[in-house]
Amino acid sequence: MKLVRHGPAGTERPGLVDAQGRIRDLSAHVDDIAGKTLSDEGLARIAALDPASLPLVDEGTRIGPCVGQVGKFVCIGLNYSDHAAESGLDVPPEPIVFMKATSAICGPDDGIELPRGSVATDWEVELAVVIGRHAKYVSEADALSHVAGYCVANDVSERDFQTKRAGQWTKGKSADTFGPLGPWLVTRDEVGDPQALDLWLDLNGKRMQTGSTATMIFGVAKVISYLSQMMSLHPGDVISTGTPPGVGMGIKPAPVYLKPGDRLALGIEGLGTQTQLVRAAD
């Protein structure tokens, strides 16, 4: 299934995408695409519904982030060896973990706001994993059974805030609009192997990133198992799993960063696409 959240920011309603690509409203059946709805049992109840019996949502309705009430937004850094190389950093011996503020989460097409003082805001197309049931000390073999589904993420990053200011990467990753998620949450049964998905990103119509999750250093199952040794993962938690090469900071001879008026388009095979207009902070 493809699950969505639609409507104005902050008051999104749950929905699903029918076989014709139309959004159907789920409000009569679930409160949100969050919490217990993301369990295997919750998803099975939605799957048992006849989409034709659900109200159609008006075309042109805003699409919000595909999961609500996110408790944790966990990210994995340098998880593609070629991205580590373009960043001038060694391949990590174990996953690099940082957090992104949940207030950064926005809809897939809401646009990106450059924070005040930004001179180095960058793009990163990533596969995001949404947890469906509590995971603590899980094995790698059992890890994927804890996944509700997958979606597209753009791990937008202010590189100067991230690397030239004292402290952790989080401060360069957490500005408002720096976490577009969606358009859809695609359930794990429909995705199949998360290590066989193509990713891409265009800047102003020019292809900048092309990659495959097959080249991750630490695959999705490894990442979930690893994180669960250090923290409990709860339904609705989001894990962004790293980006392939082609980010702005890696461009030679001089990096390229986002400026007002730029347009991004990005997507992952089977998970849909995002489009973002870059704007200056108010």
Cβ–Cβ < 8 Å for 150, 130: yes
3-state SS string over 160-213?
Answer: HHHHCCCCCHHHHCCCCCCEEECCCEEEHHHHCCCCCCEEEEEECCEEEEEEEH
On whether the CB atoms of residues 183 and 4 are closer than 8 A, the answer is: yes
Q: What is the pLDDT of residues 95-130, one digit of tens each?
A: 999 999 999 999 999 999 999 999 999 999 999 999
The amino acid that residue 145 corresponds to is S
Distance of alpha carbon 143 from alpha carbon 270, whole angstroms: 21
3-state SS string for 229-247: CCCCECCCCEEECCCCCCC
Look at strands 13-17 and 23-25 and give their pairing. antiparallel
All domains of the chain, ordered by start, with CATH?
A: 67-280 (3.90.850.10)
pLDDT of residue 89: 73
More confident residue, 81 or 239: 239
CB 115, CB 281: distance < 8 Å: yes
Assessment of whether the complete model's pTM goes beyond 0.75: yes
